[in-house]
Structure 1
Amino acid sequence: MTDPLRVLILDDDFRVGQLHQGIVDDHPGFTVSQTARSLAEARDSIRASRPDLLLADVFLPDGDGIALVRESGIDAILISAADDAPTVRRALRSGAVGYLVKPFERRALSGLLDRYSRYRNLLAGDRVMRQEDVDRALAILYGAGEPVSLSRSATEQLVLAALGDGEASAAEIGERVGISRATAQRHLAALAARTVVEVRLRYGATGRPEHRYAARS
């Protein structure tokens, strides 16, 4: 099991910071490492323990959250009441991977965290990235689904590579490849129909079988 992604939350409003912390802590794969109410506190936290992701307001008592994102080089989601195009453009130029306008529904941040996790998983390691890998990572991050440039055969090859010599569920394959569980299930079913992979059943404590897939030798 991989360690959860550590998140630093920066917001000068204590109640808003707590709200964001609750959403992050409830999301699998993430944990709030620290909270800050000013740029000075955030910079101290970054120096002490560099987080994986920064959730930051734009306008703070001692400066600008966008400038912090640019100088820190840390992946960031900016959360602000500022809804003007110049601020959004400036945020994206700084390197922010997302921008949420206050107020927003809880699922908006939760969904963005989910896409970010899959995007980061796709870009993990030092492997060479093909264009379809880059396209898919960006499509996932921005909620566009699978890019048109990714063919069915290319996706199936990625699914087979993710299976390797072991066995896995559709959800596990989706996480490894960076696609949805439903999409992984569809490709695995097609591979099983052509006898490229075999389907095994694993019975858990509830008695409901889980479909496991393995590449045929």
Structure 2
Amino acid sequence: MTEPVRVLILDDDFRVAQLHQGIVDDHPGFAVTGTVRSLAEARDSVRASRPDLLIADVFLPDGDGIALVRESGIDAILISAADDAATVRRALRSGAVGYLVKPFERRALSSLLDRYIRYRNLLSGDRALRQEDVDRALAILHGAGEPVSISRSATEQLVLAALGDGEASAAEVGERVGISRATAQRHLAALAARTVVEVRLNYGSTGRPEHRYAART
């Protein structure tokens, strides 16, 4: 089973940190390793647990979250009330994979997490990448998406119709639409990345958890 993306959350307001943790916890494939409130705590946690992703505020009581991203070399989503171009440019130069301006809707971080894990999966391993692989990964990360053909759009409409008002697995959707489970899974993942559908894990008594999908209302 693929290891989850380990996430460290850094925000000096514990209520905000808890909100961010709740969003991460709702996403299959992610696991919060801890929440910290200062740069000093964050540095200790980075050394101890080596997270894969930081979700960090920019302005903190003991320093600057952007500096932490630059020195740690870890993928990061920076979140701040700072909306000036200079701060955003500095954050992106540090290596941040995303920047959200407070306040933002829950779905903004949710969508960015969805795109990040797809981007990470595309660039995983040590295989040689083609230029189209790189272009596709960057397009996904930045929300540009992938070229959508007429046939794909039509299939996605059928997939959404098959979900109806309830929830279903990829296998169930595939059976209803008349496509393979793998094809249904691919379309459901694309819809989830655009926050058109929601995903939850159903843990059975044995085996791997099952992904269940439902259309957002």
Structure 1: gaps spanning 5 or more residues: none
- Paired positions, count: 217
Give, in whole Å, the separation in 2 of the partners of 1:209 and 1:104.
Answer: 31
Residue of structure 2 equivalent to 1:178: 178
Superposition deviation, residue 82 in structure 1? 0.4
Q: 1:93 to 1:165 in 2, by over 3 A?
A: same
Question: Which shows bigger deviation, 121-130 or 143-152?
Answer: 143-152
Post-superposition CA distance 1:70-105 (Å, at most 9, x none): 000000000000001000000000000000001111
Q: 1:170 to 1:19 in 2, by over 3 A?
A: closer
Residue of structure 2 equivalent to 1:62: 62
1:122 and 1:178 in contact (8 A); partners too:
no
Give, in whole Å, the separation in 2 of the partners of 1:191 and 1:38.
Answer: 36
Post-superposition CA distance 1:106-133 (Å, at most 9, x none): 1000000000000000000011110100
Superposition deviation, residue 135 in structure 1? 0.4
Structure 2: gaps spanning 5 or more residues: none
Q: 1:135 to 1:195 in 2, by over 3 A?
A: closer
Question: Which shows bigger deviation, 199-208 or 134-143?
Answer: 199-208
Post-superposition CA distance 1:21-65 (Å, at most 9, x none): 111111111111011100000000000010010000000000000
Question: Which shows bigger deviation, 77-86 or 142-151?
Answer: 142-151
2:111 and 2:194 in contact (8 A); partners too:
no
1:200 and 1:211 in contact (8 A); partners too:
yes
Q: Which one has more relative contact order, counting CA pairs under 8 Å at least 6 apart?
A: 2
Give, in whole Å, the separation in 2 of the partners of 1:198 and 1:66.
Answer: 31
From the CA coordinates, give the structure whose radius of gyration is larger.
1
1:118 and 1:175 in contact (8 A); partners too:
no
| Matched residue SS, 1:151 | helix
Give, in whole Å, the separation in 1 of the partners of 2:127 and 2:163.
Answer: 17
Residue of structure 1 equivalent to 2:101: 101
Q: 1:15 to 1:129 in 2, by over 3 A?
A: same
Question: Which shows bigger deviation, 119-128 or 181-190?
Answer: 181-190
State the superposition RMSD in angstroms: 9.8
Q: 1:7 to 1:215 in 2, by over 3 A?
A: closer
